[in-house]
Each structure stands twice: as C-alpha cells, then as structure tokens.
Amino acid sequence: MHHLKITLGLRRALLLAHRLKQMDGSDDGEGDPQVHVLWSVFLLESRASEILEQLGVTFGDVKLEFPLEGLSESLVQAVLKQVEQAKVDEVFSLSVLDAELLDLTRLSGEVAGRISTNIEAGTEHLLVAILSQLTPVSNWLHEKGLRAEAITGQIGQMSGHSTEAINVDFTLTPAASPASHDLQILRILDVNLNRLREGLRVVEDFCRLAIEHRMLTGLLKDFRHEVSVASTRYLKPSMIAARDTPGDLGTSLTTPSEYLRESPAQIAVINAKRIGESLRTLEEYGKAVSVEFAKMCESLRYRFYSIEQMLVMFLDRRDKLASARLYLLVTEEMCPNGLGPLIRDAMAGGVDVIQLREKGMSDRRLIETAKLVREWTRDAGVLFIVNDRADIAMMADADGVHVGQDEASVGDARKIVGTEKLIGVSTHSIEQARQAVIDGADYLGVGPVFVSKTKTFRCDEFVGLDLVKSVASEIATPWFAIGGIDEEKLVSVVEAGARRVAVSSAICGADDAREATRRLKMILG
C-alpha cells in the first residue's frame, strides 16, 4: 500500500488518459500512453496545460505532432464529458489503470514529495515525471525547450484555487496485464526483430555480392523495408528500453558448430532458416501487442518461404550446372551415322549437356532411345535432358526436361519430375526470362539469336544479341544462348555476355564432331 496525496485534477487526467487509450486504435496511441496523458491535461485545462501554454506549447501543437487518428472529435468530447461528470468514487478507482500509467502516478508523487512533504501531486507534477523519462513525448517536449528543472521552479510560482488533498490507499499492481509480462514480451520481440534484421542483411549480402543475383537481392531489399515499416508502425518505442543485453542468457550460450561454416552458401542457408524462425516468434508474441502486426508477420513469413525456396533451388542448380558451358541438341535425323557415334564424339570433345529433341518419334521408341542416351551420358558424367516430355524424362531417369513457351508450365512439369530434376525453359524476351525465373526454372534457353538450320521461326522472332546483353546484365539463373550459333558467330555471342551456349548443327553437321566440340569449348573458355 502507498499513501499518496493526489489532486482530483490528476485523478481525472489519469482516468481520461486510460479511457482514451482503451478507445484509441491509432499507431501513436498504441505506441506511447503518454500521448493520451498529454491530450488529457489539455482537454481538462489543467495546471499542466497552463504551464505548457506559458512555455509556448499549445494543444494544437500536440494534436499536430501526436494525432489520435483512432478517435473522432465527437468521441473525444463524449469521453471527456463522462470523466468530468464522473462521481468521486469512480474517479478514485485507480486500480483500473495499466502499469505504465501507475508508474507515472508513482513518479508524480515522488516529484511532489521532493518539493514538499505536504504538497499533493497534481498534473504539473505529472508533467515533470514525463520529462524525467526517455520517451517520444519527452523528447519532443525537450526539443520545444522544456526541462524538468525549469518546470519544477514554475510550479512554486503558480497561483489559483487549491483543491483539498485526499489521502487514498491503493495498490500499484495492475489487475489485467502485469508490467512483468509486458517487459517479457517486449524483450522477446526486440531480440527476434534484431535477429530478423541481421539475418536478412546476411542473406541479402550473399545474393548481392557472392552470387550477384539481381532478382533475389531486390526481393530481399524490399522485404527488409517492409519489416522496418511493420516494426515502426506497430511496436512500442519502449521495446529498446526493455533490452537487457548483459542479462540475456543467450549471449553466453554457444555450441561448437555455431562457428563452423564451410562456405558463403552455407552461411546464407543457415541465416535463411533463422529469418523464418524469427518471423514465427514475432508473429506469436506480436499477438499480445497488435493483431495487425501479428497478421503482417504471418504474411511476411509465407512470403519469405518463397524467397528461401528460390535461393535454395538456385544453389542446387548452380551446383549441377556450375561447369556446364556447351549444350547440344540432337535428333536422330541429324545424325546420319547414328545417335550413338555422334553423342560419344561430342562427349569426348567436351560437351556438357545433351538434349534429346524428338518431335515425331513414337512414345515407345522415344522411351527406348532416351534410355540408351541415359546410359551413354551417365557413363561420361554428362547431363541428359529430354525435350518437352516430362513423363519420358522420368521413365528414362534423365537429369531433367526442357519446355517451351507453349508447352507444359514449370509448375506442371515440376509435379511430374519432382524436386531433384532440372527444368529448362525457352525464352524469347527479357519478360519471359524474368517470369521463368519467378516460376522456378533451373536454367533458361535464350533465343533464337540467329537464323537456325534446325528450327523455323518468322523473321520478326529472332532476338539477336540485344536480348543476350539484357539477360546477361540481369539474370543470374544459368542460361544458354541458342539459335543459329556456330563457331564463327560464337565470338560475338560471348562478347555480348553469354557464358553458355546451346548448339545443334555446329556439331551434328560437322565432319568431325569431336573436333568441332573441342573448338567451341575453347572459345567459351
């Protein structure tokens, strides 16, 4: 029990602030209850408002700096009228106040006690109590030139009718939400928000500087911005004040594996997991602060799962395609001496990927042929891709399937081939290339760059080297320039930014497929 001498004006101000806070749904209102206190002392035309006005701070200044957008003017006036007409017994029921308002009451009593043991605590002492803390309201008042010491002196000079002090016993323990619970929640939110921000920066730096993935870097940058907006909008400023780094047990608990990192990619993947975990914790404990904040964290968490999937898939396909530079498309018709001899010569010359592209072959024969190519390529350590037919690719245990713009989507093909197989997509514009990456393609075919001997296109469908340059400057997913590329034209394609190319006639139509392959690989470096 605490015996305090508190004026009726202070009690009315505290009760009004409490009711305003209950009814206010604005960000400022949720962030700092002292905003409601500041509104209350002006609405009640208290001693505190007299002092503020004498020192140049008006109610208009307060409403402009700390608007209560969750309350209409008519609602504020209705609440004010209720408090002014409240019975004395109702006004004295301080047990309804939350921990922060009770703390301000205690501080107001301490301020009054320093001035005189017989003086009652009023709204002027409440103002000094606010100025003695570090909050957005006190910071704003300090910027206006107000200091606790100056106001303490001002209190002694004030005149006017006095209100008889009333001694009341009350317990400074909130009934509904203990301050200790608030502190625990704020500490948990603070720790996980820091972990989230740090993890995002680690993953973003990897995407930006290690793998130079423009799209992922942009997505992560936008994601960081949304996290910042959500935390600024919904979390209390007192969250940082609740931080206790020296007392945090987690700072001294480590495991040996925590300092073992084999590669930048491993670091990025580990931090991606931490981001998801942090968002889940923020979502759960954020429910105690703001339902809207919790919902935003849930939405961010699901969005990050997609970003994480893009990253992991990129790393996996990067490993499979890391050294792949030369991609050969073959058909039985283009191999007068048979598929077997030509594929073996190309593999001996250094080809990295073989695609079986048969449009008119029966399914039974296509399956048999694909299984043979699979045997040859597996023995040589060369990737094997089937064109268009995801089902045939699975039957032959190929490394993947390649689809065009008018064929199965990446999503549909993925349902057939699963997560371990590669999916390539033909693209003819930068927009199609971007979409293929978003859809989850493991690699792209970019073209046709030149007139092709194996495929017919309209003259307006050739993309030339401009698309090659655009893709080279933006797309980090592995891609192969394709369409009419031979040894002579390969030089200009490489100069345009291509590091991988797909060919057909350049090898299939050569007198010496092995030598032709070797020369193409040499130009590619």
pLDDT digits (tens, 9 = 90+) for 115-163: 665 678 888 888 888 887 777 888 888 888 887 776 776 665 553 434 3
The more confident residue out of 92 and 199 is 199
More confident residue, 82 or 435: 435
Report, as an integer, the average pLDDT of 343-362: 96
Confidence bin at 453 (pLDDT 50/70/90)? low
Residue 247 has pLDDT above 80, yes or no: no
Catalytic residue among 5, 11, 357, 374: 357
- Specify whether 518 is catalytic: no
pLDDT tens sequence across 74-126 = 778 877 877 777 655 555 556 667 777 777 888 888 877 776 656 788 888 88
Q: Which residue has the higher pLDDT, 32 or 290?
A: 290
CATH number given to 323-524 = 3.20.20.70
CATH 3.20.20.70 segments of the chain: 323-524
CATH number for the domain running over 2-170 = 1.10.1780
CA distances from 302 to 272, 276, 298, 310 (A): 13, 9, 6, 13
pLDDT the model gives residue 94: 60
Cα separation of 42 and 58, whole Å?
8
Quickly tell me which residue has 């064109």 as its tokens.
387
Confirm whether 357 is a catalytic residue: yes
At residue 473 the predicted structure's pLDDT band, cuts being 50, 70 and 90, is very high
Mean pLDDT of the chain: 83
Which of 455, 469, 499, 519 is catalytic? The answer is 455
pLDDT score recorded for residue 132: 79
With 90 as the cut, is the pLDDT of residue 483 above it?
A: yes
The one-character DSSP state at 256 is G
- The better pLDDT of the pair 254, 521 is held by 521
Is the CB of residue 14 less than 8 Å from the CB of residue 97? yes
The values of phi and psi at residue 362, to 5°, are: -65, 155
Whether omega for the bond prior to residue 448 falls within 30 degrees of 0, making it cis, is: yes
Would the pLDDT of 166 be above 70? no
Which pLDDT score is estimated for 279? Answer: 95
User: How far apart are the C-alpha atoms of 410 and 329, rounded to whole Å?
Assistant: 20
Burial of 31 (0-12, 13-18, 19+ CB in 10 A): buried
Residue tagged active-site, from 108, 426, 452, 504 = 426
Give CATH 1.20.1260 domain extents, the chain. Answer: 179-319
Tokens 């969750």: give the residue. 70
- Beta pairing class for 501-503 and 326-330: parallel
Helices marked H in 287-418 — which ranges?
291-321, 339-349, 363-380, 390-395, 410-417
pLDDT (tens digit, 9 = 90+) per residue, 396-417?
999 999 999 999 999 899 889 9
Q: Where are the beta strands (DSSP E) in 406-515?
A: 422-427, 443-446, 479-482, 501-503
Q: How far is CA 197 from CA 231, 272, 352, 510, in A?
A: 11, 11, 41, 56
- The CA-atom distances, in angstroms, between 194 and each of 121, 138, 177, 258, 421 are 40, 25, 25, 18, 37
Confidence of residue 271 (pLDDT cuts 50, 70, 90): very high
Pick the CATH number of 179-319 from 1.20.1260, 2.60.40, 3.40.640, 3.20.20: 1.20.1260
Q: What is the pLDDT of residue 165?
A: 41
- Residue of 275 and 306 predicted with greater confidence: 275
Crossing angle, helix 123-131 and helix 34-43, to 10 degrees?
150
Active-site residue flag, 93: no
99-108, 141-150, 172-181, 272-281: lowest mean pLDDT where?
172-181
Give the tens place of pLDDT for each residue, 201-222.
999 999 988 887 777 888 999 9
Q: What percent of the chain has pLDDT over 90?
A: 41
Helix (H) or strand (E) holding 240: helix 238-241
Locate tokens 């023995």: which residue?
379
Stretch 14-24: mean pLDDT, rounded? 82
Residue 245 pLDDT > 70, yes or no? no
Please give the Cα distance from 125 to 37 (Å, whole number): 12
Instruction: Look at the pTM and tell me if it is higher than 0.85.
Output: no
Confidence of residue 346 (pLDDT cuts 50, 70, 90): very high
CA distance 55 to 68: 23
Q: Is the pLDDT of residue 311 over 70?
A: yes
Instruction: Return d(Cα 125, Cα 151) in angstroms, integer.
Output: 9
Structure-block tokens of residue 75:
């609602």
Residue ranges of the chain that CATH labels 1.10.1780: 2-170
